[in-house]
Each structure stands twice: as C-alpha cells, then as structure tokens.
Structure 1
Amino acid sequence: MLSFETIAERMELPKRTLLDNYKSWDIPVVRISDRILRVRERDFEAWLDARTE
C-alpha cells in the first residue's frame, strides 16, 4: 500500500496538491482509519496508465 507521500514523490508534485485533488482526480483510495488513506500499488499504476495513454 502506498502512502500519499510516496505517490506525491512519484508524480513529482507537492503532497498538499495531491491531498487537495485526489478526489477530483479519482485516485482509488483505501481508508485504513478515519485519518489514514492508502492506495494499492496496482490500483495506482492502473490509474496512472489510464491517464498517460
């Protein structure tokens, strides 16, 4: 499972930008708890591939 920090690094953008936009960008998240969100690596890769085609 990827943290938002890891995803932001891979996308080369600030973590705050990712946090502000992940819903509108439809990034598939998994809620671990009330305050912790993660993204499955395979879901992130599929999401990214769909946007770079």
Structure 2
Amino acid sequence: MPTGGTRAQGTHPAPRSLRPASRKTSLRIASCLARIWIQAEVKSVRGGSNLLMTPDQAAAELGVTKRVLMDSYRRWGIPYVKVGKHVRFRTRDLHNWVDARVQGG
C-alpha cells in the first residue's frame, strides 16, 4: 500500500520537456516560425511573390524607417493591401514600384 500520496505506485508526471505547450506558447512559436519563413521568402523571391509584408518589413526592404514609410506610402503611390485595419505591402508590388523608379540605368 503506498504511503502518503494519492498517485499510483510507479507513475510519475511527464517531464516538462514532454508536456504539451500552452496555447500562448504554441502561438508565439508559430508566429516566430512564420516571421522567419516570411523573411526568407522576401529575401529569396524577387518580383513574383504575392507574399504580404508588414510595414516594418517593407520599410527595411526600402531602407527607410517605418515612420517614413507610413507617412508617405500613399503620396509616393506605393500599392498596398488592407487586411482589416492593417496595411500590408505585396512583395512583387513593392519591387515593381522600385524598379519603375530606377533612373539613369
């Protein structure tokens, strides 16, 4: 007869590394993996991707700050997509916009 505990003899809780992750942790991991995948796609695909970039990613691609991009994208005529209330930039549209402005080449 086991003494002092309610756990059946010979059973132990699963080690922490084998327990299922919490929903919050799973979402955080999925978000990080998606961000890594998007960054890899943005760097490897030139001109033909329908991938949507966040303003941070688009600003980095253009070499400006997010603030400058968000203040100027309409005035500059950069094509954008609204996803709910969020502004996104399609990779190929951004690259085509840059290519259309190349001068002296």
TM-score (norm 1): 0.87
- CA distance in 1: counterparts of 2:59 and 2:94, whole angstroms: 12
Shift of 1:13: 1.3
- Who is 2:64 aligned against? 13
Shift of 1:22: 0.4
- Who is 1:31 aligned against? 82
- CA distance in 2: counterparts of 1:28 and 1:45, whole angstroms: 10
Three-state SS of the structure 2 residue aligned to 1:37 is strand
- Who is 2:101 aligned against? 51
Ranges in structure 2 where 5+ consecutive residues have no aligned partner: 1-51
The percent identity for this pair of structures is 35
Ranges in structure 1 where 5+ consecutive residues have no aligned partner: none
Dislocated runs of 4+, deviation >4 Å: none
Shift of 1:26: 0.5
| Structure of higher RCO (CA pairs closer than 8 Å, 6+ residues apart) | 1
- RMSD (Å) for aligned C-alpha atoms: 1.0
Three-state SS of the structure 2 residue aligned to 1:39 is strand
Q: Which has the larger radius of gyration?
A: 2
> How many residues matched?
52
TM-score (norm 2): 0.47
Of residues 15, 22, 29, the one that matches 2:73 is: 22
- Who is 1:41 aligned against? 91
